[in-house]
Structure 1
Amino acid sequence: MKKLNTLLITIFCLMGIATSAEASIQSVDFHLRNHEVAVTFLDLSIGEAILLQSKEEGAVLINTGSSRSEKELIDRLQMFKVKELRKVWLTNADEAYAGNFSNLLHYFDVEEVVLSEGVEKAFLPSIPSHLQKTHLHENQQLQLMEDVKVEILNISKAGSATFMLSLGSQDLLMMGETNLDLEEEIASSGKAVEVLKVANFGAGNGSSTEFLSAIDPQMAVIFRHNNIDVSESVLERLNESWTDVYYPYRIGSVTLRIQNDRYDVITLPTKETR
């Protein structure tokens, strides 16, 4: 049974947006209050990128999307008024996750890069010396922001991370790869989540019926990879579990505005939305 807290879905209308179909959103300010965090799944054409923002601690970026989406990434970060990035966390060495890391450094000041040793060895043998570097390990717990706790559930041999983001009473499960043994392990914990970021762009045989029944997500997010098609069986299982599925590359950036025991979902359609 789905959890009882209400999910508020809002098409966010901002002052100054023209009504023309050709118009695009120029600037977004969530006016976040203390201990409130915005988690935005960015609407890149190719690749995965998730932006975290808080009033007290600025911005953190999890993954950078594909280099083929460089302009979209920079435009979105500027649209959300990002001036600098406290941390950039790379959860996977694949180009669709980390392809814009080097490019990003030309546009924004970055204080710290967070990654597993596997990701560094596979894709980033050299990181600028001025950047603080933090390596992640399986079963590690850390504070990504004051109000954002992270538990690293698994790191694959290639360095891909599966982790839980906890913000107040809200839990977001970020699956890093299609791994049925890992799904079984997570399901056996008995922990339900509000949001599931679907593994590996919705490919393969992941998101099993037993897994979805155990974690009972209210919503799922699927990013786009240029060489991977979303599995029809994955979508069927999500639909059967009454999980609302969001595709940022189709509908626009999807933001969760989270404070303690509640969250609102805000979709921001943009000119490039497909």
Structure 2
Amino acid sequence: MRRLLIMFFVIFSIHGQQVDAERMILDKNEAIFVFLSLPDGEAMLIQTGRGKDFLVNTASKASEEKLLEQLANIGVDQLDSIILTNQEPSTCGNTSRIVERYHVDAVIHGMSEKKLCAESSNHAKEVIWKEGELHELNPGLSVRVLPSIDGSDMSLFFMYGKTSLMYLASGDMELEQKIANSYPLKAEVIKIADYARTQSPTLHFLEEVDPHVAMVYPLKGARPNEGLLERLHESWIEVYQLKKTGTTTIFCNLEDYEVLS
């Protein structure tokens, strides 16, 4: 894969610990999806070569310091939007702090009546995405809102050039069937829902989506389902448990992608 980028490595000390900071300068036809390794909960940064930055979820309050540290290391000084896939404490616990710190324009979420995280962010406008909608975040970068069971979770299907990323918000087998029936989608990368604690995704769903890479976030006090991890490995999917691998980046141009960890 041919890519034009400049990487800066900075080593400095925070509270006596050494931290490696990496920043990429992207071409206008490049983008990165950064799966942030945090102590508890999930957050994914999307950066494009056209100067747009988006954050999907903000992890739990227990991850606040580490989240701010990693965003600073990457060189984020402003976020265009925060996208919340649900209103659980482990996914949106730092929304208000991030809105204020990074001058966020909009907090985007689904149709759930429970909007505690979104409502706590009164410095940004509230935007509601509905099931089936297709949104262009930036030239070359779009996202489709996948079906949900009751509106409490918002699974997403990101597309950048020829690379697709399925971000599952609920580990529900009924949801799998609903997605498969509505949108028979293929994705190179899949974010496993519910911190891989359930039986989803099933073998049938994995065969339908045919991912090459799976991302698993950590949740304090919980362990991934060993049967699910075994299923992923047996399906020849490269599994990144972020607690073990650390922050992992999917680098994309319009033709291909590469995993950097």
Provide the TM-score with structure 1 as the length reference. 0.86
Aligned residue in 2 for 1:81: 75
CA shift, 1:224, in A, is: 1.0
Rate the CA distance shift 1:253–1:126 in 2: closer, same or farther, 3 A. Answer: closer
Identity %: 26
CA shift, 1:194, in A, is: 0.2
Contact 1:139 1:152 in 2 (8 A): yes
Equivalences for residues 19-168 of structure 1 within 5 A: 23-25=18-20, 27-118=21-112, 121-128=115-122, 130-168=123-161
CA shift, 1:53, in A, is: 0.6
CA shift, 1:250, in A, is: 1.9
CA shift, 1:238, in A, is: 0.3
1:256 to 250, 254, 259: 250
Which SS does the other structure have where 1:24 is aligned? strand
Partners of 2:128 and 2:10 in 1: CA distance: 42
Unpaired stretches in structure 1, ≥5 consecutive residues? 1-5, 268-274
Rate the CA distance shift 1:194–1:228 in 2: closer, same or farther, 3 A. Answer: same
1:181 to 174, 177, 180: 174
More displaced 10-residue stretch of structure 1: 141-150 or 119-128: 119-128
CA shift, 1:117, in A, is: 3.2
Rate the CA distance shift 1:223–1:170 in 2: closer, same or farther, 3 A. Answer: same
1:172 to 158, 165, 172: 165
Spell out, residue by residue over 1:181-209, the C-alpha distance to the aligned partner (whole angstroms, 9 max, x if none). 22124345543210010011001111101
CA shift, 1:109, in A, is: 1.1
Provide the TM-score with structure 2 as the length reference. 0.90
Partner letter of residue 91 of structure 2? Y
Number of equivalenced pairs: 254
Aligned residue in 2 for 1:3: none
Partners of 1:143 and 1:13 in 2: CA distance: 28
Rate the CA distance shift 1:117–1:162 in 2: closer, same or farther, 3 A. Answer: same
Rate the CA distance shift 1:126–1:174 in 2: closer, same or farther, 3 A. Answer: same
Rate the CA distance shift 1:61–1:120 in 2: closer, same or farther, 3 A. Answer: farther
Contact 1:187 1:210 in 2 (8 A): no
CA shift, 1:47, in A, is: 0.5
Partner letter of residue 66 of structure 1? S
